[in-house]
Amino acid sequence: MNKNTLLNISLGICQLAKILFIIIAIGITFVFIHVQIDKDFYSKVEFGLSKENSNLNLSNTDLNITSTWHVTNLSEELKNKDKTTIYKELFKLNKLTKTSLYLQYFKLSFVLLMFFLAVSEFQKIIESVKSHKTFGIQNVNSFRKIGTYIVVSVLFTMYTSVNFEQGGYSGFSISFNQLFLALIAFIMAEIFKEGNILKEENNLTI
């Protein structure tokens, strides 16, 4: 596979990812509006969060520092049932409080925006490599921006608090996958900075 084919494939993937982010953003906006108009439509949609109370738990490279579920005003009928059934019954999208719904929507939208911007910067880097401007200062800035976007999205998603009509969830978790990606982006920025210095020195050698 020659260099241009690889770069073209990467550009295509970036473009696809950006389209996907836009579709997801439109999708969640639609759900966000629709859930307020027709709540009953979402009566079977469960809210996907880890339903175990924990302190310091490492799962799927995410470090859950604390996560607690709480249930209030439980009906007599549900009291005798097991935990999973109660959670399934209570923590549904239609039972989400308005504040939580807005918070979750803005959180998701913001994270999507951060990823969209990070992919756009990566696309710029690939385009510059394609046009033989690999070690330009703009690529150093692009890698730094990618790192910053990822760190901001990690910080933004660190604390989760979701409240339902009868109970809710709150917890702290850190995504190591994303932090590792941010670290790689910052390291790449430093490598490209060195490359930029060498390129400038080479350009000024007559």
Partner 1 sequence: MSIIINLDVMLSKRKMRSKELAEIINITTTNLSILKSGKAKAIRFSTLEAICKALDCQPADILEFKED
C-alpha dist (Å) from residue 39 to 43, 47, 202: 7, 14, 65
Residue closer to partner 1, measured from CB, 40 or 201: 201
Contacts 24+ apart (CB under 8 A), 178-181: 178/150, 178/153, 178/154, 179/150, 179/151, 179/154, 181/150
Q: What's the min distance (Å) between Cβ of 139 and partner 1?
A: 21
Task: Give the nearer residue to partner 1 in terms of CB position, either 38 or 194.
Answer: 194
Q: Is 204 in the site for partner 1 (CB under 8 A)?
A: yes
CB nearer to partner 1: give 190 or 200.
200
Nearest approach in angstroms of CB 200 to partner 1 is 8
Nearer to partner 1, 80 or 205 (CB): 205
Q: Residue 138 is encoded by which pair of tokens?
A: 């703009």
Task: Assess contact for 153 and 115: CB atoms under 8 A.
Answer: yes
Using the contact rule CB under 8 A, the part of the chain among 28-36, 69-77, 170-178, 198-206 near partner 1 is 198-206
Helix (H) or strand (E) holding 90: helix 83-90
Q: Stretches 49-57, 108-116, 148-156, 197-205: which one binds partner 1 (CB under 8 A)?
A: 197-205
Q: Considering the complex, what minimum distance in angstroms separates the CB of residue 202 from partner 1?
A: 9
Query: Which region among 120-128, 147-155, 157-165, 196-204 touches partner 1 (by CB under 8 A)?
Result: 196-204
**What is the nearest approach in angstroms of partner 1 to the Cβ of residue 199?**
11
The yes or no reply on residue 206 touching partner 1 (CB under 8 A) is yes
Residue 198 CB partners (closer than 8 Å, separation 6+): 135
Euclidean distance between CA atoms 20 and 178, whole angstroms: 19
Sole residue written with tokens 């999973």: 84
In what side-by-side order are the strands of the sheet with 167-175?
54-59, 62-70, 167-175, 159-164
193 makes contact with partner 1 (CB under 8 A)? no
Question: Taking CB under 8 A as the rule, does residue 201 contact partner 1?
Answer: yes
Contact residues: partner 1, CB under 8 A: 200-201, 204-206
